[in-house]
A and B are shown apart, each in its own frame.
Chain A
Amino acid sequence: EVQLVESGGGLVQPGGSLRLSCAASGFTFSNYWMQWVRQAPGKGLVWVSRIKTDGSSTSYADSVKGRFTISRDNAKNTLYLQMNSLRAEDTAVYYCTRETSYSGSYFSDYWGQGTLVTVSS
């Protein structure tokens, strides 16, 4: 059974940093692209970042570019999101997702339960 379990969320002051983790199990982690998606309270889904199987390619939403860094440790089956210079508008539930491919394109098929990040003084 595919499982994605996020951790590392919490309350942080504006300007602070936080590192989220996503522990993957039930599949060969190193074979899959992975993503982070966030959802502010009462709002819609917003894609944050994605990373290729071996970490050699990453992309980011403009809103987090230069502040967030996605990475992975395939030996530990874990995805990370390092978040620096946090702002109030980064407050959200952060979901880790697995990407699967069809006809050469990649989309999320499994999602974790999410971890809440609150940026407030």
Chain B
Amino acid sequence: DIQMTQSPSSLSAAVGDRVTITCRASQGISNSLAWYQQKSGKAPKLLLYAASRLESGVPSRFSGSGSGTDYTLTISSLQPEDFATYYCQQYYSLTITFGGGTKVEIK
């Protein structure tokens, strides 16, 4: 199985900060990467797919980049509603795998 290593596992940031989360795959995944946001007690929500394509309705402060094995989620200016846990997911292989998650907390 493809392993997804996400970092950091948690971070503290203030409203307005720029936040970057990274995800590294154990092998190349050809941009078959999605990012999800999960708020406490809720189901995950799709933010981006194909590494950099923004899901409809998702604010443009969210962006994604990367290629090969290394990918990044960036929140350009953190808003109060963005405090949540973020997960990357590779769907390159038939057996899907998630990163371990990054909890974004208020500083």
Interfacial residues, chain A to chain B (CB-CB below 8 A): 35, 44-47, 50, 59-62, 95, 102-103, 105-114
Instruction: Label chain B's interface by main secondary structure.
Output: loop
- Does chain A have a CB within 8 A of B53? yes
Identity of the chain A residue whose Cβ is nearest the Cβ of B101 in the assembled complex: A44
Identity of the chain A residue whose Cβ is nearest the Cβ of B99 in the assembled complex: A44
A121 to B44, CA, bound (A): 30
Q: State which of A95, A105, A111, A112 has its C-beta within 8 Å of the C-beta of B91.
A: A105
Q: How many A-B residue pairs have CB under 8 A?
A: 59
21 contacts between A and B (CB under 8 A): A35-B96, A44-B100, A45-B38, A50-B94, A50-B96, A62-B1, A102-B49, A102-B50, A103-B50, A105-B92, A107-B32, A107-B49, A108-B34, A108-B36, A108-B46, A109-B46, A110-B46, A111-B43, A111-B44, A113-B43, A114-B43
Interfacial residues, chain B to chain A (CB-CB below 8 A): 1, 32, 34, 36, 38, 42-46, 49-50, 53, 55, 87, 89, 91-92, 94-101
Instruction: Label chain A's interface by main secondary structure.
Output: strand
A61 to B32, CA, bound (A): 18
